[in-house]
Amino acid sequence: MIPFIDLQYQQSLIKDKLDASIQKVLSDGAYIMGPEVKELEEALSKFSAARHVVTCGNGTDALLVAAMALGVKPNDVIFIPAFTFPATPEAIMLLQAVPYFVDVSPDTFNMNPTSLKEAIKDAVSCGYKPKGIISVDLFGQPADYDEISVIAKENGLWLIDDAAQGFGANYKGRPVGTLADITTTSFFPAKPLGCYGDGGALFTNSDELANVMRSIRVHGKGTDKYDNVRIGMNSRLDTIQAAILLEKLKLFPQELQQRQILAELYQEAFSNCDGVVTPTLSSDRTSSWAQYTLKLDDENKRQDLMLALKEKGIPTAVYYPTPLHHQTGYKDICLAHQNLSVSESLCKRVLSLPMHPHVEGVRPHIGVMKEVLQNVLTKVYF
Ligand SMILES: *Cc1c(COP(=O)(O)O)cnc(C)c1O
């Protein structure tokens, strides 16, 4: 079986540097909030062009810190795409706010601005108090920020970009990190920029929000260490992870190019296969290709296709099999736009293929993948 995400290859390229960085943290002894954390925040700020970067414990905490900084309160209504990872709505739900699920576009899988507009109108007419929007850069492609920002402004809503998957991408020449009031990301090992444990970060151009987020990250600290000025939490990035990320960030621009090359090879191989639609990347943006996700015409063929690929040593994954408004823990407490048919349909049809920066580990298998796709998808059942 080839790896679905190849972390070993990348490690082999920088093993000596990683060992030296980790060893330095071990001997320095500042395991939490050591100098590497500040150094990483500066490097990420330079990379993303965001004025402030605040690292934290993981991508879910990043969303929670962002929601707390924006003052999310019980019963606030927040618009969120129905087709995403559960961490996106979870953060606001921990604050007793209510997610209002919005449909996504069938081609980009990202929040559909038209559906968002309808949902806001609907929520207001039902007497709810909309407060914000969390858009997601699903599978690595930035959402429609120009349209979404205008809708946010017109309705007095704040905007968070959940870029756990999209960090490293660009939108109309602007890097992810600067497209919303606050951008959050995750350094979970399998994300485009991952560490070797849990990690996350917040990006903003607002001095005020950055100060509040820095305070929330460490128990709501004030300028006096022993006077906590608000209720916060403990969500710090540890120094070893920061040291690892500093080394990985140097490789990241090259890796993004490799991911793009693999996406193009897939596109070339599968774009004229019957029964399957390859991902659409809008021409005004780049993707960090967190996932390469096909859409099948016939939902009944997904299981067969996964098995047939597995037999040839090709792993696949389904992100995501159930839309959020149908999940057990959510269905009775969330609000949902009446038409979420695209999200519902995608959950039955999507299939993600191996995607990582080691192109040569995948290239020799693309021919076999194409053969399997053609065999399974054009097979007629009597
Ligand atoms: C991975 C992910 C998160 C959560 O990140 P963690 O670091 O695992 O907490 C949030 N949102 C999206 C869209 C993700 O893919």
Confidence (pLDDT) at 47: 98
**225, pLDDT greater than 90:** no
Stronger pLDDT, 227 or 187, i.e. the higher one: 187
Task: Establish whether residue 162 lines the binding site of ligand 1, counting it when its CB lies within 6 angstroms of any ligand atom.
Answer: yes
- The separation between the first and the last C-alpha atoms of the chain, rounded to the nearest angstrom, is 32
**378, pLDDT greater than 90:** no
Confidence (pLDDT) at 77: 97
Place of tokens 């057990």: 328
- Tell me if 184 sits within 8 A of 202, measured CB to CB: yes
Report how far ligand 1's centroid is from the alpha carbon of 140 (Å). 12
Confidence (pLDDT) at 382: 63
- Tell me if 202 sits within 8 A of 70, measured CB to CB: no
Joined together, the tokens standing for residue 59 give 């991508």
Task: Establish whether residue 200 lines the binding site of ligand 1, counting it when its CB lies within 6 angstroms of any ligand atom.
Answer: yes
Task: Establish whether residue 247 lines the binding site of ligand 1, counting it when its CB lies within 6 angstroms of any ligand atom.
Answer: no
Q: How confident is the model at residue 22 (pLDDT cuts 50, 70, 90)?
A: very high
Confidence (pLDDT) at 337: 87
Task: Establish whether residue 136 lines the binding site of ligand 1, counting it when its CB lies within 6 angstroms of any ligand atom.
Answer: yes
Q: How far apart are CA 249 and CA 36, in angstroms?
A: 13
State pLDDT tens for residues 279-331: 999 999 999 999 999 999 999 999 999 999 999 999 999 999 999 999 999 99
Confidence (pLDDT) at 313: 97
Place of tokens 């194409």: 370
**Distance, CA of 196 to chain centre:** 17
Return the percentage of the chain with pLDDT > 90, whole number. Answer: 95
Q: How confident is the model at residue 223 (pLDDT cuts 50, 70, 90)?
A: confident
If you take atom 14 of ligand 1, which residue's CA is the nearest one? 164
Q: What is the dihedral of CA 65, 100, 134, 230, to 10 degrees?
A: -20
Ligand 1 atom closest to 84 (CA): 13
State pLDDT tens for residues 232-255: 999 999 999 999 999 999 999 999
Q: What is the mean pLDDT of the chain?
A: 96
**143, pLDDT greater than 80:** yes
Place of tokens 């709810």: 128
Task: Establish whether residue 319 lines the binding site of ligand 1, counting it when its CB lies within 6 angstroms of any ligand atom.
Answer: no
DSSP for 114-159, written as a single string: HHHHHHHHHHHHTT--EEEEEEE-GGG----HHHHHHHHHHTT-EE
Q: How confident is the model at residue 381 (pLDDT cuts 50, 70, 90)?
A: low
Confidence (pLDDT) at 224: 83
Joined together, the tokens standing for residue 320 give 């995501």
Task: Establish whether residue 137 lines the binding site of ligand 1, counting it when its CB lies within 6 angstroms of any ligand atom.
Answer: no
State pLDDT tens for residues 330-371: 999 889 988 999 999 999 999 999 999 999 999 999 999 999
State pLDDT tens for residues 80-91: 999 999 999 999
